[in-house]
């Protein structure tokens, strides 16, 4: 059976790029992924972007980004699923290549967050919540996370400081990631004294929004160039699952059902169990979401999702490393692009190209991106692939 | 200005009008096109009492456009006595500390300012400690 193989990866540093436009950010990542894949011209381009229409006043990115990057005439469309936009675009590319519709597909996640400033940016990001019944009451994504965290602490009696382990791990891992926004360890005192955002959630529980673009070139194994210089990674599972958009419409706001089901489906496709992976690039847009993702994936019992991180088994040398290149918290969260960054980082680990953060012998990774409080959950399974001829 | 958008929700916003499923009697708020309990078509109006308890809450230190001047403000999930949960701001809190389980009741308040745009004020439900 033909495999879907990651032939190329590319990323730009995450940060506030006042001098770089949406199209140029995207082009840099796209070019990098194509160079890494030996210059392949992809037959399709799937774009993940959340805010381009609102913040950059730019739609029709398929035409813009193909034309700007020398790919005129190539099929190109945008996928939107809030912060999971890039992850959903990857899912679409995987489907296109695995179905045989195309031999190769380029995925680019791009977010140009800093094209406007101030409270209008908060309104733009709040488009991912229910406008009629949440946003109109002043609810933002951070408010949703605060509501979830408050209820979690109440139901399980977990203290606020238990969550500190997540941003501290993310920051420790970002030190060695040249593309990370914050390459600096986080002191415990800095967490404890961080100002509240949406109490009980503080500034260090929230991943910073930023600009960035990342790209992945998927090729069917029988169409691969024979002379690629790097190890190969194949995609063995990919699943998109949705939940009810509003927290108030859910039977249990702590269940993160879509996150759990998407892990289950992606793992079933790959024929593995979640604990069979060497790393888990999970979603830490807010610390509490990382906690609930571990629980939804059955990697921690309900109410105990902080413990694996507090006890060190999610460190780089632990049983299940997570956020290995800094996660959203310290690499930065370029919203719709983040899901593609996560895939790129997992591919670096599986190729053995993660530098000082390399997990020895990593062969299989679980990658999960959430849009909102697991309103959309996208999970992939990636594996090192040595069987090429 | 989004006038039609807010106008068409006036029953929900001012009267907490939701739905009762004609097939299974499930009480629904906010209204949905399909009953989440039985999958039947849901469209019988049902007026909620406006009484409920706090299910969760958070204090927003900054607000998005239209909410900056209200900050800090408290957003809550309210479990209505009839069953459904609704998202709303808490108001008239005074010195009383907020707690999960606290009884609250619906009031009508301005829920969004016009910013600097001389636009439309939006009114709707908030919840206050039960008198």
First to last CA, chain A: 13
**CA distance linking residue A334 with residue A385, whole number of Å:** 29
Burial class (CB in 10 A: 0-12, 13-18, 19+), B17: middle
pLDDT of A57 over the 50 cut:
yes
Interface of A with B (CB under 8 A): 118-120, 122-123, 126, 130, 132-140, 142-143, 146-151, 154, 195-201, 244, 246-249, 253
Q: Reduced to 3 states, what is the DSSP secondary structure of residue A91?
A: helix
Task: List, for residues A282-319, the tens digit of each pLDDT value.
Answer: 999 999 999 999 999 999 999 999 999 999 999 999 99
Query: Least CA distance to B10: which residue of chain A?
Result: A132
Q: List b or e across A44-58, with b for residues whose CB sees 16 or more CB atoms inside 10 angstroms.
A: bbbbbbbbbbbbbeb
Q: How much is the mean pLDDT over chain A? A: 97
Closest chain A CA to residue B35: A249
Q: Which of A132, A142, A150 comes nearest B57 by C-beta?
A: A150
Respond yes or no on whether the N-terminal peptide bond of residue A99 is cis (omega within 30° of 0): no
Q: pLDDT band at residue B118, thresholds of 50, 70 and 90? A: low
Measured CA to CA, the distance from residue A26 to residue A171 in angstroms comes to: 26
Residue count of chain B, please give it: 131
Joined together, the tokens standing for residue A177 give 């990631």
**Cα–Cα distance measured from residue A297 to residue A274, given in angstroms and rounded to the nearest whole number:** 7
Provide the pLDDT confidence category of residue B117 given band limits of 50, 70 and 90.
low
pLDDT tens digits, A1-47:
799 999 999 999 999 999 999 999 999 999 999 999 999 999 999 99
What is the structure's pLDDT at B65? Answer: 86
- What is the token pair recorded at A245? 């958009």
Report the gap between the CA of B125 and the closest CA in chain A (Å).
9
- For A231, other C-beta atoms within 10 Å of its C-beta total 15
**Testing the interface with A: which of B33, B60, B64 to mutate, by most A Cβ within 10 A?**
B64
Question: pTM for the complete prediction?
Answer: 0.97
- The predicted model gives B101-124 an average pLDDT of 86
Residue A342 CB partners (closer than 8 Å, separation 6+): A87, A281, A367, A368, A369
Mean pLDDT of A69-85: 97
List the one residue out of A40, A31, A366, A6 whose CA is nearest residue A221: A6
pLDDT at A12: 98
Is residue A389 very low, low, confident or very high in pLDDT (cuts 50, 70, 90)? very low
Among B56, B57, B80, B123, the residue to mutate for chain A (most A Cβ within 10 A) = B56
Tokens representing A134 are 């949440």
Question: How far A149 CA sits from the closest chain B CA (Å)?
Answer: 9
- Nearest-by-CA chain A residue for B72: A198
Q: Which CA distances in Å does A376 have to A145, A155, A262, B55?
A: 15, 24, 9, 23
Q: Which of B36, B100, B111 sits opposite A137 (nearest CB)?
A: B111
B73 touches A at CB < 8 Å: yes
**pLDDT confidence band for A227 (50 / 70 / 90):** confident
A248/B86 Cβ within 8 A: yes
In the predicted model, is pLDDT for residue B1 greater than 70? no
At residue B66, the pLDDT reads: 87
Mutate to test the interface with A, among B74, B77, B82, B86 (most CBs of A within 10 A): B77
What are the domain boundaries of chain A? 4-116+208-385
The model's pLDDT over B34-86, given as tens digits with 9 standing for 90+, comes to 999 999 998 899 999 999 999 999 999 999 988 988 999 999 999 999 999 99
**Interface membership of B112 toward A (CB under 8 Å):** yes
Lowest-confidence region among A244-253, A264-273, A300-309, B106-115:
B106-115
Residue A207: CB atoms within 10 Å: 28
Q: Measuring CA to CA, how many Å separate A47 from each of A37, A101, A332, B85?
A: 18, 17, 19, 36
Nearest CA in chain A to B124: A137
* Contact call for B86 and A148, based on CB within 8 A: no
Chain B closest CA to A15's CA: distance in Å?
A: 22
SS (H, E, C) A297-308: CCCCCCCCCCHH
Beta strand ranges found along chain A (DSSP E) = 4-11, 44-48, 75-79, 104-111, 196-199, 201-202, 212-220, 232-242, 279-281, 364-371, 376-385
What's the CATH class of domain A4-116+208-385?
A: alpha beta
Cβ of B86 within 8 Å of Cβ of A249? The answer is: no
CB pairs under 8 A between A and B: 110
What are the boundaries of each domain within chain B?
A: 3-129
The pLDDT of residue A378 is above 60: yes
Please write the tens of the pLDDT for every residue from A107-152.
Answer: 999 999 999 888 889 899 999 999 999 999 999 999 999 999 999 9
Express each pLDDT in A150-199 by its tens digit.
999 999 999 999 999 999 999 999 999 999 999 999 999 999 999 999 99
Q: Which residues in chain B are contacts of A148 at CB distance < 8 A? A: 56
pLDDT tens digits, one per residue of A342-369: 999 999 999 999 999 999 999 999 999 9
A189 CB-contact burial (10 Å; exposed 0-12 / middle 13-18 / buried 19+): exposed
How far apart (Å, rounded) are the C-alpha atoms in residues A283 and A345?
13
Other CB atoms within a 10 A radius of the CB of residue A297 amount to 25
Contact between residue A109 and residue A22 where contact means Cβ atoms under 8 Å apart = no
Report CB contact under 8 Å: B87, A142: no
Quote the pLDDT of residue A203: 97
CATH of region B3-129: 2.40.50.840
- Helix (H) / strand (E) containing A150: helix A141-156
DSSP-based three-state secondary structure for A364: strand
3-class secondary-structure state, position B108: strand
The dihedral through the CA atoms of A31, A35, A37, A40 has a sign that is positive
């Amino acid at each position: 059976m033909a495999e879907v193989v990651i032939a190329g990866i590319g990323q730009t540093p995450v940060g506030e790029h006042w001098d770089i436009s949406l199209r140029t950010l995207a082009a840099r990542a796209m070019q990098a992924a194509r160079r890494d894949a030996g210059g392949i011209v992809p037959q399709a381009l799937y774009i993940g972007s959340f805010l381009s229409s609102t913040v950059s006043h730019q739609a029709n990115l398929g035409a813009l980004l193909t034309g700007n990057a020398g790919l005129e005439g190539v099929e190109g469309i945008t996928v939107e699923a809030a912060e999971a936009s890039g992850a959903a675009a990857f899912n679409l590319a995987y489907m296109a290549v695995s179905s045989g519709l195309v031999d190769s597909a380029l995925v680019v996640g791009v977010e140009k967050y800093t094209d406007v400033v101030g409270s209008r940016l908060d309104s733009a990001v709040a488009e991912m919540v229910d406008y009629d019944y949440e946003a109109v009451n002043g609810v933002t994504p951070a408010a949703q996370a605060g509501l979830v965290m408050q209820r979690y602490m109440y139901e399980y009696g977990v203290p606020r400081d238990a969550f500190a382990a997540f941003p501290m791990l993310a920051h420790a891992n970002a030190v060695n990631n040249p593309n990370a926004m914050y390459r600096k360890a986080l002191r415990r005192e800095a967490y404890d004294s961080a100002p509240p955002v949406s109490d009980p959630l503080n500034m260090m529980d929230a991943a910073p929004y930023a600009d960035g673009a990342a790209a992945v070139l998927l090729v069917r194994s029988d169409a691969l160039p024979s002379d690629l210089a790097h190890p190969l990674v194949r995609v063995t599972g990919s699943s998109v699952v949705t939940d009810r958009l509003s927290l108030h419409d859910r039977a249990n706001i702590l269940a993160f059902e879509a996150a759990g089901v998407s892990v289950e489906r992606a793992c079933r496709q790959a024929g593995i169990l979640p604990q069979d992976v060497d790393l888990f690039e999970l979603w830490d847009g807010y610390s509490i979401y990382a906690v609930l993702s571990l629980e939804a994936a059955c990697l921690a019992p309900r109410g105990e999702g902080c413990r694996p991180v507090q006890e060190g088994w999610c460190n780089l040398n632990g049983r299940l490393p997570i956020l290995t290149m800094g996660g959203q918290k310290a690499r930065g969260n370029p919203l719709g692009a983040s899901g593609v960054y996560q895939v790129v980082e997992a591919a670096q680990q599986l190729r053995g190209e993660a530098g000082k953060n390399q997990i020895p012998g990593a062969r299989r990774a679980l990658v999960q991106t959430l849009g909102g409080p697991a309103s959309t959950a996208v999970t992939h399974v990636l594996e090192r692939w040595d069987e090429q001829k | 200005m989004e006038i039609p958008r807010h106008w068409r929700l006036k029953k929900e916003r001012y009267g907490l009008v939701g739905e009762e499923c004609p097939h299974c009697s499930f009480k629904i708020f906010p209204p949905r096109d399909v009953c989440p309990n039985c999958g039947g078509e849901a469209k019988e109006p049902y007026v909620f009492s406006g009484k409920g308890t706090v299910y969760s809450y958070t204090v927003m230190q900054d607000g998005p456009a239209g909410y900056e001047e209200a900050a800090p403000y408290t957003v809550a999930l309210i479990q209505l006595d009839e069953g459904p949960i609704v998202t709303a701001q808490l108001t008239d809190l005074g010195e009383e500390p907020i707690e999960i389980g606290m009884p609250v009741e619906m009031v009508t308040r301005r829920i969004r300012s016009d910013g600097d745009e001389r636009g439309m004020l939006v009114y709707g439900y908030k919840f206050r400690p039960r008198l």
